[in-house]
Amino acid sequence: MRAVIVDDHPVVREGLCSLLSRAGVEVVGQAQGGSRALRLIRDLQPDVAVVDVALPGLSGIELCRRIRRRLPQVKVVLISMFDEPAWRAEAGRAGAAAYLLKGDPPERIVDAVLRAARGEVLLPRTGGVPPLTPREQEVVRLIAEGKKLSEIARILCRSPATVRAHKASAMRKLSVHSTTGLVRAALELGLVRVPEVPRA
Amino acid sequence: MIRVLIVDDHPVVREGLARLLSRAGMYVVGEAGSGEEGVGLARGLSPQVVLWDLAMPGGGLAAIKRLREAAPQARILVLTALDDPLLSREAATAGADGFLAKTCAPGELVAAVRACARGERVFPQGPELSPREEELLSLLSQGLSNREAAERLGISVKTVESHLENLKRKLGCKSTAELRARALRRMKPGLP
């Protein structure tokens, strides 16, 4: 059984690599994310790709969607810092076989990767209807990360006009009238999240 | 051999850290999944360096003081997934000896642990903000517009804009939108 690991934290890649190797899975490649990850997966054709949800630039969910569209034989297991129902539902729609948490016990992570590689689907394929389309969520998330429309257009391989249209449509649906309002709504919807830091 | 205690609520991160550090010839004396457990182990195991996650139960900056009390001789190296250039200063104020992002390369991690064990302070070059810039950043994090912030501070919109330019430069933001997004992400619901 062969796996590729995609995460922008080297220490997480190391941890996943260690856990999977011990379970007899051959980790054939690692990437930090983005189009390099997609190329690596295309070249190596692993049974399963373990992909972080919160990658910089191209999100893990979008990467999953592209892997599943172009290389349907490669199973994708998404792994996240957060147990976010909206992301879990989105992961299912993007064709992921499982949605795991970085806080999960190692046995659960290993078990899910093995089962996914064998073709099991551990996620429901449907979820609640989100207020925004996946593309709109992606655009809003990137805006909330501070990306400019031109950068977002490049990341998503769409024209700036299309991105602007997604943004306008998202603002209409969320009844906000400024970019700041949009970012705040994105935070409230859980499209973008940072863990709370208990302050001294 | 450097004795290290790993405190992080994600088992997969602990696994990765333990492997990287052992491979570099260090001795991982223990692993904890929460701040409380970490403080307890630090008291009993007398590690030289404690790797301390910020976003974990019983963790955070506030708990660093308890860790310091439990293991006065231990050097505390904060390791975090939070992308916030201001956080390293807060960690230093809270009593940490070092600050490292989880995006760091394995070599950087090992070097930082060694430096900490030698008694060096390991902090990225953080930006120095003026009190006015701090104030403005906090207003932005509440979602105020430039005009609202100007009124609140009793200064002109032009002055606000020039402070924003400085903030963008200091915090490495390419656009005002990015600066606003950064500030909003610092918003901590439930805190005054």
Residue A70: its pLDDT value, please? 92
Residue B124: its pLDDT value, please? 79
Flag if B180 and A146 touch (Cβ within 8 Å): yes
Residue A124: its pLDDT value, please? 65
C-alpha angle with apex B177: B172 to B178, nearest 5 degrees? 35
Q: Is residue B29 part of a domain?
A: yes
Q: Is the dihedral of CA A111, A114, A119, A124 positive or negative?
A: positive
Half-sphere exposure of B46 (CA within 13 A, CB side): 1
Same domain flag for A102 and A138: no
Average pLDDT for residues A114-131, to the nearest whole number? 74
Q: Give the closest-approach CA distance of A183 to chain B in angstroms.
A: 7
Same domain flag for B65 and B138: no
Q: Pick from B60, B62, B106: which is nearest to A14 by CB?
A: B106
B177 SS3 class: helix
- Mark which of B88, B117, B146 sits at the end of a domain: B117
- Mark which of A117, A143, A168 sits at the end of a domain: A117
Lowest mean pLDDT among A14-18, B28-32, B122-126, B188-192: B188-192
Flag if B182 and A146 touch (Cβ within 8 Å): yes
Residue B93: its pLDDT value, please? 83
Range of the domain at A83: 2-117
- B55 and A CB contact within 8 Å: yes
Q: Give the closest-approach CA distance of A118 to chain B in angstroms.
A: 22
For residue A24, pLDDT over 90 is answered with: yes
Residue B188 pLDDT grade (very low, low, confident, very high; cuts 50, 70, 90): very low
Residue B19 pLDDT grade (very low, low, confident, very high; cuts 50, 70, 90): very high
A176 class by beta-carbon count within 10 Å (0-12 exposed, 13-18 middle, 19+ buried): middle
Domains: count for chain B: 2
B40 class by beta-carbon count within 10 Å (0-12 exposed, 13-18 middle, 19+ buried): middle
Ranges of beta strands (E only) in B46-115 are: 49-52, 75-80, 98-101
- B82 and A CB contact within 8 Å: yes
Contacts with A200 from chain B: Cβ below 8 Å? 61-62, 64-65, 90, 93-94
Residue B187: its pLDDT value, please? 43
**Higher per-residue confidence, A134 vs A114:** A114
Same domain flag for A90 and A43: yes
Q: Is residue A71 part of a domain?
A: yes
Q: How far is CA B119 from CA A135, B77, B97, in A?
A: 49, 11, 8
- Are B34 and B54 a contacting pair, CB within 8 Å? no
Q: How many residues does chain B have?
A: 192
CATH number of the domain enclosing A102: 3.40.50.2300
pLDDT in tens, B131-161: 888 889 888 877 888 999 999 999 999 999 9
> Which DSSP symbol is given to B95?
T
Range of the domain at B80: 3-117
Same domain flag for B16 and B68: yes
For residue A72, pLDDT over 80 is answered with: yes
Domains: count for chain A: 2
Contacts with A199 from chain B: Cβ below 8 Å? 60-62, 90, 188, 191
pLDDT in tens, A133-189: 888 888 988 888 888 999 999 999 899 999 999 999 988 877 788 888 888 777 766
B28 SS3 class: strand
Residue B41: its pLDDT value, please? 96
pLDDT in tens, B59-118: 888 899 999 999 999 999 999 887 666 778 788 888 999 999 898 899 999 999 999 999
d(CA A142, CA B189): 21
Contacts with A145 from chain B: Cβ below 8 Å? 178, 181
Q: Is residue B30 part of a domain?
A: yes
CA–chain centroid gap for B18, Å, is: 20
- A143 and B CB contact within 8 Å: yes
Q: Are strands B49-52 and B75-80 parallel, antiparallel or unpaired?
A: parallel
ipTM: 0.72
For residue B189, pLDDT over 50 is answered with: no
Sequence-ordered list of residues with C-beta below 8 angstroms from that of B88, at least 6 positions apart, any chain: B78, B99, B123, B124, B126
Residue A191: its pLDDT value, please? 67
Average pLDDT for residues A76-100, to the nearest whole number? 88
Flag if A103 and B180 touch (Cβ within 8 Å): no
Average pLDDT for residues A33-52, to the nearest whole number? 94
Flag if A179 and B16 touch (Cβ within 8 Å): no
For A140: left if phi > 0, alpha if psi spans -120 to 50, otherwise beta; the answer is alpha
For B90: left if phi > 0, alpha if psi spans -120 to 50, otherwise beta; the answer is alpha
Output the six-digit token pair for A107: 């046995």
pLDDT in tens, A127-146: 444 567 888 888 988 888 88
Average pLDDT for residues A91-115, to the nearest whole number? 93
Same domain flag for B111 and B137: no
Flag if B55 and A196 touch (Cβ within 8 Å): yes
CATH number of the domain enclosing B140: 1.10.10.10
Q: Give the closest-approach CA distance of B54 to chain A in angstroms.
A: 7
Q: In what order do the strands lie in the sheet with B3-7?
A: B27-32, B3-7, B49-52, B75-80, B98-101
